[in-house]
Chain A
Amino acid sequence: MLAYMIRRLLYAIPIIIGVNILTAALFFYVNTPDDMARKILGEKNITPQAIENWKMDHGYNFPAFINTKEKGAAVVTQTIFFQKSVPLLWFDFGRSDRNNIDIGAEIRQRMWPSLFISLPTFAIGVTLDLFFAMMLAYYKGTYIDFLGLVAGVVLMSISSLFYIITGQYVFGKALRLFPISGYDTGIHAFKFVVLPVIVGIMSGIGAGIRFYRTVFIEEIGKDYVRTARAKGLPESAVLFKHALKNAMIPVLTNVVVSIPFLFYGSLIMETFFAIPGLGNFTIQAIQSQDFAIVRSMVYLGSLLYIAGLILTDVSYTLVDPRVKFE
C-alpha cells in the first residue's frame, strides 16, 4: 500500500506543476499586472507612475516566465511565475495583493469556521441520506417510497440559494429560532452553525437519497440477499446489516472524494451566512481580483482533489478485501 501511495504522490507532482503553470498563464492572459494594480489602487488619483510603483513594490515588474534581461539562473528565477507561483510548491503562499496579509496565516485561521459548518453538514447529511435511502428501499413499493422519491426530486430541483434564503426567512425571521447570519468563536459558534447545517443538509438530501436508494435497491436484488431472506432474516436485518456493508463501494466513491474539500468550505453558503471561512475568502479574492489569494486557493484545490482520489482508492481496500493495490 505504501509503495502504491508513494507512486500516486509522485504522479501528482507533474499534475501540480502543470496546474501551477496553467493558473499563472491564464491569470496573466486575463488579468495583467497593470489591471491588478488599477483595481487594487482604487479609482482616485491613479497615475501611470503609481501603477508602475505598485508593480515594483509587489514584485510584478518582472516578465511572466522568462527574464531576458538577467543572466544564468536568474533568467528563470527573476520572473513573476518563479517569484509568485513556485513558492506554492512548499506551501509558501506569500502575501495578498490587495492588503498585504499573510495568506498562509489567513488560510489556517479560516479553515476552522469552514470545517465547523462543512463537517457536521457532511457527517449528518451522509448519515441521513443513507438512513432515508435505506428506509425507502425498505418501504419499496409503498406510498412512502413514492412520496420519498417525489420529495427527493423536488428537493434536488431547487437551487441551494433558495434553501439559504428560505431557511433564513423561516427559521431566523419568522420562527426566530436561530440567528439569521453571523459567526462567533469557540462554544459561541454553535448557535450560528445550526441553521447553515440544516440548510446544507436540505440542499443535498434530495440527490443523496435518490442516489443511495438506487444503490441499495440494486444491492438487495443480489443473490446473497435472497439467501439471507430465505434463511428467514427480518427485512431490517437484511438491509441494515448485509446490504449496507456490501453497498459501501459506490457509497465510498461518492463520499471519500469529498472529504478533503470539506475544509475548502462553501462559497455561497458562507457568504450568505457571514461565515468567515475559506469559501468566503475565495469569493472575496475573486471579486477584488486578488491574484495571490486566488492562485493559492486554486493550487490548494488541486492538491485536495488529488488527496481525495488517493483516499478513495485506499478506502476501497478497507471495505472490500478483493481490491488490491497494484
Chain B
Amino acid sequence: MRSILQFLRSHPTGPIERLDRPTYIKDAKRQLDRQADFTDFNVFISLPSRDAVQRAARTAEASWDKDKHTDPFGRLVALKDNICTSNFPTTAASGILKNFTSPYEATVVKQLRGAGAIIAGKTNMDEFGMGSHSTNSYFGRVEQLGYEGEQLSAGGSSGGSAMAVAWLQCWAALGTDTGGSVRLPAAYTGVMGFKPSYGLLSRWGVIAYANSLDTVGILGSRAEDVRAIFNTLNVHDPQDPTSLVPSTRARFTSEAHARETIGHSSINLRIGIPMDYNIDTLHPTVRKAWVKSLRLLEMAGCTLHPVSLPATQHALSTYYVLAPAEASSNLAKYDGVRYGSRAQGVDGTPESILFAKTRGQGFGPEVRRRILLGAFSLSAQAIDNYFIQAQKVRRLVQQDFDNVFSRPNPLITASEPSSPGNGVDILLCPTAPTLPPTLSELEDQDPVKAYMNDVFTVPASLAGLPAISVPVSFEVETENEGAIWDKSKFETVGIQLIGQFGDDHLVLRVAELLHSISADGLR
C-alpha cells in the first residue's frame, strides 16, 4: 500500500468534475486503480473483474447521449454487502452467509442498473449492520488511515461504502442506515451520507437488521451526486410493503420547491439548534465545527432558533431496546437449512434443535450479543418494561420533532404544527459527538460505550426523518502552513441536518449549501 502522503500528492482533488464530454472510461480506471492500491483498507468484500467494469464503462461512454443520460449513468456505484445482488455474493459480512449468493436482486440494484450505473463491488460492513466502526466483520475490519498515519475507525456500519467514496474508489455508494449507519461513517470519513425518510427507498432485497428503522442510504462526495442517486431510487416499490405509495409521496416537499426555498441569493430558512445535543462529552472540535456551521448559515441569511427535544436523552436506550428486539427476530431465519453455512459435523441433539451449533458458530460476538439482548427484551418477563416502554418513548421522540418543525408531519393527518410561525425548517447538530477514534482505542472498549457513538443519529432514525451528514472543514492550527497539501480538506467534522418527514429534498439542498459555504469560508 502506498503511503497517505503519496496518495495526497498524486490525487489532491476531491470529486470528479462534470464535463461536457463524459469521462467514464478514465474515471473508472482511476477508481479501479485506487481499489487496487488500497486493498489494506479492506473496503470491499467482493469485486467484479477489472475487465468487466472497464467494458461497462466503455459501453456507457460509447452510448452516452447528452439529452438522455444523467448521473448515475456510467458511474461506478458500490453497494453495501447487505444489499442483494445475483452476480456477487451477498454476505452481510457474516460467517453464516459467507458463501451465500442471492437468487434475486434488490429493487435498488435493479433501479441503479436501469439508470446505467455500474456496480463497483460489495463493501465491507459490520455484520448485519450491527456496529459503529465496521470492525465486526467476518471478513476483517475496515481500516481508515489518519493524517498522522494512525489507524482510525471508518465508522459503521456502512464503513466500507463510506471509505470507497472517501478514497475515490467509486463515484458513490449505497449503504443502509438503521441508527446512523450511513451518517456516522460519512462523518468519520469526510463524505456526504444521506438517510432518506423511512419508506422512500425500497428495502426489497435489503437484508433486514431492524425493519422498522432500516433505510437504504446514499454516500457521495457531493450533495448533487447523492441527489442524483436519490432521484433514481425514490420510487414506490410494490415489493416493499413499507414503501410509501405515490399518493403519500405527493404530500412531500418537491425538488422544485426545495430549490426555490434555497435560492442562493435569498435564503430565508429557520434553522433549529437542538440544545439537548450540546452534551458534556461533545468533543471541542466538533462543537467548534457546529458553531462554525451555524455562523456560516446565519451569514447566508438563515435565522437560528434554539429548540428543545427533551426525549432525546432516552432515544439511545430506546434504540438499543428496539433494534436488537427486531434483530433477534429477523436473524432467526439463519439456520443453514435452506441456504447459508452450517457448522461442521453433527448439529442438533435429542434435546436441542437442528441448528443450535450452526447459529452459535455462524454469528459473530456482537450479533450474538444483540440477539440475546433482543430475545430478552421480548421475553414474557421483560417485554412490558423494555419493548413496550421503548415503543412509547419512540412515539415521544417523534412528537418532539413534530413539535419543533414548522411543517406538520405529512404522515399524520390533521396534525397541526404546535408552534405555528415559531417552528423551524430544519435542525442542525453534529453527526457524532467525537472525531473518529483510533482502532486501538476501540479494541478494549466496552460495547455499551461503543453504542454511545449513535447518540445523535438515533433520534432521526426512531422518527423516520430524513437526515444527512455533511463534511464541514474546520480551521486547523497554522503550524501546517506551507505544507504541500491542504490538511483542511481531510480534517472535517460531520454536521447533521435533520428535516421533517418527507422534506428530503430540502435536506439535500441545505446540505449542498452548507457544503459549499463551508468550503468557501476557508478561502
Query: A and B from one assembly?
Result: no
State the A residues within 8 Å of B (CB).
Answer: none
